[in-house]
Structure 1
């Protein structure tokens, strides 16, 4: 295996529970595989629209299957996924645009680097898919950021950056453009949903959709898949 780390981009949106599974697995394996993981928060709604795809919730049989599927996957991956009282409202009526702009603002300001992005993203997933809380409200975003260890002053600035009515348009536009750029990048790689993992290997890219392609991904990058919980003995120091 080459000593140089392979770059892996993870495109995700916190409105997607399958993205949460992929996110947690990749965050675990970056300590075991010879990779550099780059978190790429993006807007799933934009990807679905531009690719012409339909969300599972819009197809009754898919939505019914998704409910039982996520229950099984939650146990298998050890990720505390539960369904909100009104998943249709959460996923389609309220959506995640404001939340993902907030995550983009965290990344743009490099508050703690990707460590803060990782923590904020995880807290937002918890709020939707574990605690059934609204992530469209500024106070909800603030609470998630507090749990992620971001200071009150930084949170205030992040909220301003992610909401145009609170700050100069030019500064807010920078965050909108960042999220838009990440979403467009995902589409350029062929995304039609999330999670989308893009591996850069020997000058080529290999894209994998979903949270059930890790074994194949490992084969393509020359690493070993040990299941959702890799052995600590395999950790790279």
Structure 2
């Protein structure tokens, strides 16, 4: 292991279940690998549009595979995924723009690394991908923020901030960063090694990622016990 910490950026959107898997694994490895993990909330819809990609939920055979795949991955990674009753509505009709602006607002006011960004993001993932709840309304974002540990006054201020032009511009900017790395979906993990950016798509590239940064992959749950999600 080298002495210098590698910067690892995770671009993600809470509407993506595969992003949740990548998010949890990298959060676990933050204390295992010699890395400085940077959480980068972005907007998946913007990446899909810019790249011309088509969501798997809109391709029938991919959708059928995805539902089976997520069940297996949930068990393997120890992440309690449970797809919403109407995946297409939750992912593509309602979308996540409001939620990701809220997370971006949290990131903008973060004073303790990415701790609150991590907690709020996790609560939003749990709402859509565990308990089949809304993530588009202010009341939904409020509930997620409170469960993450924010005070009612803080949530109110963040909801107001999330509607501001600077936050909208910030989310666009971070999304553009992902696009500039040739992103076509999330999660996108970018490892910075010896002055070079190495992008990895998906939640199934951890062994290759470890090789790239000079670390070892020891499975999806490297330490025991792991905090309950």
Q: Check whether TM > 0.5.
A: yes
Superposed counterparts of 1:1-237, under 5 Å: 1-110=1-110, 112-163=112-163, 172-231=164-223
Task: List, as ranges, runs of 4+ consecutive aligned residues in structure 1 with deviation greater than 4 Å.
Answer: none
- The normalised TM-score by structure 1 is 0.93
Report SS of the residue matched to 2:166. Answer: helix
How far did 1:201 drift?
A: 0.2
For 2:189 and 2:9, the matched residues in 1 are separated by: 6
For 1:103 and 1:195, the matched residues in 2 are separated by: 16
Aligned to 1:166: none
Q: Deviations over 1:6-29 (max 9, x none)?
A: 000000000000000000000000
Name stretches of at least 5 consecutive residues in structure 2 with no aligned partner. Answer: none
Q: Deviations over 1:142-171 (max 9, x none)?
A: 0000010001111000000112xxxxxxxx
- The normalised TM-score by structure 2 is 0.96
Name stretches of at least 5 consecutive residues in structure 1 with no aligned partner. Answer: 164-171
Q: Deviations over 1:65-120 (max 9, x none)?
A: 00000000000000000011111100110000000000000000115441000000
TM-align CA RMSD: 1.1
